[in-house]
Structure 1
Amino acid sequence: MNNWYVITGGPSSGKTTTVQLLQQLGYTTTIEHARHYIDLKRAAGRTVLETRANQAEFQRGVLDMQLQQEASLNPEKVVFLDRALPDSLAYYRFLGLEPDPRLLEAIQEVSYRKVFILDLLPLASDYARTEDVPAQRRIHDLLTEVYLSLPVPVQAVPALSPQQRVEFILDHLIPVDG
């Protein structure tokens, strides 16, 4: 068992805002790799549409980053992850892609202290987010399905103000001896 907490939810559920607020409180956090992957490709001259055109390649790139990140984290340190490996499985399912065998193998080994699934907020479009409202809901449902299938505690986080969500999460952490 490690001391990592996953912050997840469908697109536009406030994950990154929540993780950034936790970071401001002094907690160790991670970044969302899908957005980071898009940003790296944009810096190399590719558009978001070009980057997302080959979804299998996109998902592999995100998975590579996620695998590397989780392998580098200290299991004894409290860390809040902006998405985690099981999120990739939900996206493979959403896209109708055959999951990467490395993902399926890694998911058998995952161990998170607790997963917080943020209730959806109204969909806000931006340069990296291409989903519509039905896709937002479907991804959220797939994330919930994937995490509930794993042997990790899952906690729904209601649609509250960002600060209230952080307080809710901190109030629902699992003590190290619990």
Structure 2
Amino acid sequence: MERSKCKIQTNWYVLTGGPCTGKTTMVNMLATQGYKTTIEHARHYIDSQRENGENVEEIRANKKKFQEGVLDMQIEEEMGLNPQDTVFLDRAIPDAMAYYQFLNLEYDKKLLDAMELFCYKKIFILDRLPLVNDYARREDIEEQTRIHNLIIKVYESLPCPTVFVPVLSPVERMNFIIDNIITKLG
């Protein structure tokens, strides 16, 4: 999907990549440095549904409902942010497009409309780390690689600068990200 315009220019930085790239670790570290951050909504959606008595298999069984629930949370989060604030997002609306592709789901109007909402200041795509799964992350290495590549493709189609973050120690990765925004903030 080629997108040439969006409705709202933001000062938001997206940290993204496939599963197992260290996005949440980076977002948490940036928060400790005083930056405003957001949460990762797929895990939050799973956790909220588990509180309602569903298990992860039940939650993930209906792929369309799961993706719509995550997208709804992401849209609500981004709509509530001030576009002028500097914010680091743990994923953003375009991630949903990559997951729709991965799951062979048809794009719906909500997703397509959401894709037109925001322009992000810069996209940081984190290189993949070794495979680690937990209760919410169930993809094997091939699936994780495919998701990662779809995310790259979606974000590279957007009119936003993209920076690839190499595998480094967590502190070095955080400093790499900060170094890539510092001139924009100064």
Q: TM-score normalized by structure 1?
A: 0.97
Alignment match of 1:41 (pick from 41, 49, 60):
49
RMSD between aligned residues? 1.0
> Does the CA-based 8 Å contact 2:10-2:118 persist in structure 1?
no
What secondary structure, in the 3-state scheme, does the structure 2 residue paired with 1:129 have? coil
SS at match of 1:125: coil
What percent identity do the matched residue pairs reach?
56
Counterpart CA distance in 2 for 1:141 and 1:132 is: 14
Are 1:17 and 2:25 matched, yes or no?
yes
Residue of 59, 63, 70 corresponding to 1:51: 59
Aligned length, in residue pairs = 177
* 1:175 paired residue number: 184
Partner of residue 111 from structure 2, selected from 93, 103, 116 = 103
d(CA) in 1 for partners of 2:84 and 2:118? 14
Gaps of 5+ in 2: 1-8
1:106 positional shift: 1.6
| Bigger mean CA offset, 100-109 vs 62-71 | 100-109
Q: Distance in 1 between matches of 2:90 and 2:123?
A: 11
CA contact (8 A) 1:60 1:100 kept: no
SS at match of 1:156: strand
In the alignment, the residues of structure 2 paired with residue 26 and residue 94 of structure 1 have an alpha-carbon distance, to the nearest angstrom, of 35
Trace 1:84-163 onto structure 2 (pairs within 5 A): 84-163=92-171
Q: Matched residues in 2 for 1:118 and 1:100: separation?
A: 28
**Structure 1 runs, 4 residues or longer, greater than 6 Å off:** none
CA distance in 2, matches of 1:132, 1:123: 8
TM-fit CA distance, 1:176: 4.9
**Which structure 1 segments of 5+ residues have no match?**
none
Deviation at 1:110, TM superposition (A): 2.0
Q: Which residue of 1 aligns with 2:13?
A: 5
* TM-score (norm. length: structure 2): 0.93
